[in-house]
Amino acid sequence: MAKLPEAVPNLPSNMRAWQVTTPGPIDGPHAPLAFVTKPVPQPQPGETLVRVLACGVCHTDLHVSEGDLPVHHAHVTPGHEIVGEVVANGAQTSRFKLGERIGIPWLRWTCGVCRYCRSGRENLCPHSLYTGWDHDGGYAEYVTVPEGFAYRIPERFASVTAAPLLCAGIIGYRAFERANVPAGGRLGLYGFGGSAHITAQIAIDQGIEVHIFTRGQDAQAFGLKLGAASAQGAYDPSPVKLDSAIMFAPVGDMVPNELANLDKGGTLALAGIHLSDIPSLNYQDHLFHEKNLTSVESNTRRDGEAFLTLADRLNIQPATTPVAFEHADEALRTVKRGDLQGACVLRIGED
Ligand SMILES: [Zn+2]
Ligand SMILES: [Zn+2]
């Protein structure tokens, strides 16, 4: 490795990483992911190099691997729920000290000068770049991050526990904000994986009545254990009319039932980056009475900081299933099957 302004001694020049070869079904005959050896990336000016300790497995990684999202960077390494230790800083980079534990999220970079960035909506920046899609992510032993887009990880959290907070947690928090849940109100969560089970804890801790809609029996039982008021199938009627709802599953077919379950004036927030087509809606049943239908795009850094502070204070503990680094493809197949308690997290380096 070339000489860096600041680096721990004896950094290796090569590392192990997963990369997307040709996007396609993760459970099909041609595996879209390959486990390879490649050079350790060099931090550019303004970037920090991190030795990865843990990386969460997110539904979006599945979309990148299977081609639901277009290829933005050939042979990209997926992964954007990264917890790691700072091992080098590029030129003019000083925010983090060597050895500090930081988190790297989905939002890798925004331009800072467009009208969205200048009005506090950098999540809508048309020039934004994403970790594990536009740029190599955390299914690797080392990864770089622009220092302004990383977070300090609260000490309370083990690295494996902290990883799902960085996308599942932050996006769930933004969706929760977008869903406009009134104080003490009723919230429906559709799909109950990594993001929903963290959002459920945030809501229940604030006295909100949570109702869960998901196909998985284990996921339903898990939601009830966390304190949800009810759990039922994804297409079931709600036992009570809901003030707000968040859709975490990428299934457009679920939307009409979600809107029908809303009370007058209620809000449905669609949290996914990818959604299959929504069937035609009936105005009276689904939208009239001032129902609101909105989506959620990524997050701002302010969402991230606010969420991590809240997660620390409320001691939000994501349920995790640690997975060996070598089995990332297996973890993605588990995510695809969907009946999961909490989140798969790859253990990559020694903590
Ligand atoms: Zn911008
Ligand atoms: Zn994600």
Q: Quote the CA–CA distance of 58 and 323 in Å, as a whole number.
A: 13
- Provide mean pLDDT across the span 114-143: 97
Pair 61, 132: CB distance under 8 Å:
yes
C-alpha 150 – ligand 1 centre gap (Å): 17
342 has pLDDT over 80: no
Q: Quote the CA–CA distance of 27 and 25 in Å, as a whole number.
A: 5
C-alpha 122 – ligand 1 centre gap (Å): 6
C-alpha 59 – ligand 2 centre gap (Å): 6
Which helix (H) or strand (E) element contains residue 34?
Answer: strand 33-39
Pair 20, 76: CB distance under 8 Å:
yes
C-alpha 230 – ligand 1 centre gap (Å): 41
CA 209, chain centre distance (Å): 24
Ligand that lies nearest to the alpha carbon of residue 126, given by its number in the listed order? 1
CATH 3.40.50.720 holds for 170-295: yes
165 has pLDDT over 80: yes
Question: pLDDT-derived band of residue 343, with 50, 70 and 90 as boundaries?
Answer: confident
35 has pLDDT over 70: yes
Residues with CB under 5 A from ligand 2 (ion): 58, 60, 167
C-alpha 147 – ligand 1 centre gap (Å): 17
Task: Output the pLDDT for position 341.
Answer: 66
Q: Quote the CA–CA distance of 165 and 30 in Å, as a whole number.
A: 32
Buried b (16+ CB within 10 A) or exposed e, 76-87: bbbbbbbbbbbb
* Nearest residue to 206 (alpha-carbon basis) of 222, 220, 187, 224: 187
- Provide mean pLDDT across the span 315-336: 93
Question: pLDDT-derived band of residue 1, with 50, 70 and 90 as boundaries?
Answer: low
Question: pLDDT-derived band of residue 2, with 50, 70 and 90 as boundaries?
Answer: low
Q: Quote the CA–CA distance of 331 and 312 in Å, as a whole number.
A: 27
289 has pLDDT over 70: yes
> Looking at per-residue confidence, does 155 or 3 come out higher?
155
pLDDT tens for 225-259 read 999 999 999 999 999 999 999 999 989 999 999 99
Point out which residues pair with 51 in neighbouring strands.
85, 142
Ligand that lies nearest to the alpha carbon of residue 127, given by its number in the listed order? 1
Would the CATH topology of 6-153+319-347 be identical to that of 170-295? Answer: no
Ligand that lies nearest to the alpha carbon of residue 106, given by its number in the listed order? 2
C-alpha 136 – ligand 2 centre gap (Å): 14
Q: Quote the CA–CA distance of 166 and 84 in Å, as a whole number.
A: 12
Point out which residues pair with 37 in neighbouring strands.
16
What's the CATH code, domain 6-153+319-347? Answer: 3.90.180.10
* Nearest residue to 105 (alpha-carbon basis) of 131, 129, 85, 124: 131
* Mean pLDDT score across all residues of the chain: 95
For the chain, what are the domain ranges? Answer: 6-153+319-347, 170-295
Ligand that lies nearest to the alpha carbon of residue 163, given by its number in the listed order? 2
Pair 266, 240: CB distance under 8 Å:
no
Say how many C-beta atoms besides its own lie within 10 A of residue 74's C-beta.
9
> Looking at per-residue confidence, does 339 or 132 come out higher?
132
pLDDT tens for 175-234 read 999 999 999 999 999 999 888 999 999 999 999 999 999 988 988 999 999 999 999 999
Task: Output the pLDDT for position 212.
Answer: 98
Task: Output the pLDDT for position 111.
Answer: 98
Over 196-223, what HEC string results? Answer: HHHHHHHHHHCCCEEEEECCCHHHHHHH
- Provide mean pLDDT across the span 88-101: 96
C-alpha 56 – ligand 2 centre gap (Å): 8
- Provide mean pLDDT across the span 284-291: 97
Pair 260, 289: CB distance under 8 Å:
no
Ligand that lies nearest to the alpha carbon of residue 105, given by its number in the listed order? 2
- Provide mean pLDDT across the span 4-13: 90
C-alpha 129 – ligand 1 centre gap (Å): 10
SS3 category, 85? strand
Ligand that lies nearest to the alpha carbon of residue 107, given by its number in the listed order? 2
Pair 173, 303: CB distance under 8 Å:
yes
pLDDT tens for 109-120 read 999 999 999 999
C-alpha 6 – ligand 2 centre gap (Å): 30
